[in-house]
Structures are given as structure tokens and as C-alpha cells.
Amino acid sequence: MDVNTLLEKVENAKALDFGDIFNKSIELFKKVWLQGLIMLLLTVALMIPIYIVMYFPLIALGLLDQEVLQHNEDLNIVIAIPMIILVLLISFFAMIIGFGLQSAFYRICKNKDLNEMGSDDYFYFFKRPYLGKTINLAIMTFGISLVAMLLCVLPLIYVMVPIALITVIYALNPDLSASEIIKVGFKLGNRKWVITFGLLIVSSILAQLVGMLLCIVGVFVTASFSYLPTYFVYKESVGFEPAADSDTSEKSEAS
């Protein structure tokens, strides 16, 4: 589906029903809870080495003489600047991992929802020809989030909806350019902001509460539920074309 068709469908999207999307999310969760759990465990497993790299200098720093650190301002600056750069780099790489795995999860959700054939490839968007686009979109969403955070709370609350939808749009329209995906994400986010924001908040709270009732470890099982409403916001607003469905199936089988 080309970008003009997507924008036209977003512009003419029907009104969405909160309860209908929520119920559909529950039904889909019954099919993909295992895939969601695997996605989260992979995210944690891939991020552990990254955070070890980030905290190792801090641990080493704690072993240094504290009096030297307190009385030597030049040394403090020399240490602080690389640490800030390292934290930013770590955050960026963590976002790439999360963005790619979550996009793959939405692709799996579509296969399960429409009963399509296809493998559960969690690293689909880390392969050619999508790796570069995954990195570009991660950079763009990271930059948007950073700017929104610097502009205080309200802009950050606003952009969380388009950014959540950007991941879905990328997963289901990977052949669009990064700028086109961003454009459609903000267009759909503007049109369906209130209902999407409400679904994100309610589904996140419910996923955490149910997970904590399952002895806290259950949060890993239920956490992926909070990703599903945005899939149905896209599906009910834009839908899928038969040709796009078959193309996706062929790519899935080929991979």
C-alpha cells in the first residue's frame, strides 16, 4: 500500500469503538501471548550485555579514590563527558533493539490474526533490506522523543501516541520510506489520538495489575497485551489490502 493510499484511508477512517478494540485485543492476546513473552525475553537478553557495558565504568569509578574525585574538578569533567556520551549511545542501541523486536511482534500478530502462513521471525527487521530502515526509524523516534522531553511533559505525552503507531505502520508497511512512515504515524496519531491514548493507558495498567496477581513474574506474560490495541487502531482505521497480505505471506515463507 503506497503512502498516498494510506493517508487517504487515514483521512476517511471510520469512528473507532473503545470496547470493540479492547475486546479484540483480548482475543488476539490469547493467540500471541507466547510470542509476546518470547519477544520480551529476547529484549531483556539482548539488553543485558548493553547495560553491563554501561554500568561497568560506573562500578570501576566507584573503586577509585573518592577524595581524588571530589577535589579534582578537571578529572570529574574528563570522566563525566564520556559517561554522558556512553549513556546516550546505550539508550540509542537499546531503542533499536526494542523497536526492531516490537515491529517483528506486530508482524507476527498480523499473521496470527488473519490466520496467515509465516514463521515467527523475531529478527525479521534486523535483516536485509530492513536493517538500515530500522536504525533510521529508531534514530528519528529517539530524536522526536528527546525533543519532546526537552519541551517538558505535554509534548512527550502527545508524541507517545504517534510513536506507538509508527512501530505498527512500519511492521505492516515495511516497504515505505522512513519519512513516509513517520508522516503516516503522525497523521493517524492526530486523527485517533484520544482513543489510542486511552487504550494505551488502560491496557498498560491492566497488563501490570494482572501480571502482579500472577506473582509479579507474570508481568512478563501479560506485558505484551499493552501493544495490541495500537495494532487494531491501525487495522480498523486503514485495514489491509489482499495483495499486501499475499506479499507478506510470500516473504514470510521465503524467510
Quick one: pLDDT at residue 202?
A: 95
Q: How many CA atoms lie within 13 A of 239 on its CB side?
A: 11
pLDDT of residue 217: 73
Q: What's the chain's Rg over C-alpha atoms?
A: 20
Query: Which grid cell is 63?
Result: 573503586
Domain boundaries, the chain: 3-250
Per-position pLDDT tens, the chain of length 255? 789 999 999 999 999 999 999 999 999 999 999 999 999 999 999 988 877 777 776 666 555 555 545 555 554 566 667 777 777 788 888 889 999 999 999 999 999 999 988 788 999 999 989 999 999 999 999 889 888 888 877 888 999 999 999 999 999 999 999 999 999 999 999 999 999 999 999 999 999 898 888 777 778 899 999 999 999 999 999 988 764 444 444 444 433
Q: Which three cell numbers stand for residue 166?
A: 509508527
Q: State residue 93's pLDDT score.
A: 86
Task: Please name the residue that has the C-alpha cell 479484540.
Answer: 24
List the Cα angle 120/122/125 in 5-degree steps: 120
Single-letter amino acid code for the residue at 9: K
**pLDDT for the residue 125:** 96
**Position of cell 509508527?**
166
| Tens digit of each residue's pLDDT (9 = 90 or more) over 41-56 | 999 999 888 777 777 7
Q: Is the dihedral angle over the CA atoms 129, 103, 176, 26 positive or is it negative?
A: positive
End-to-end CA distance of the chain: 21
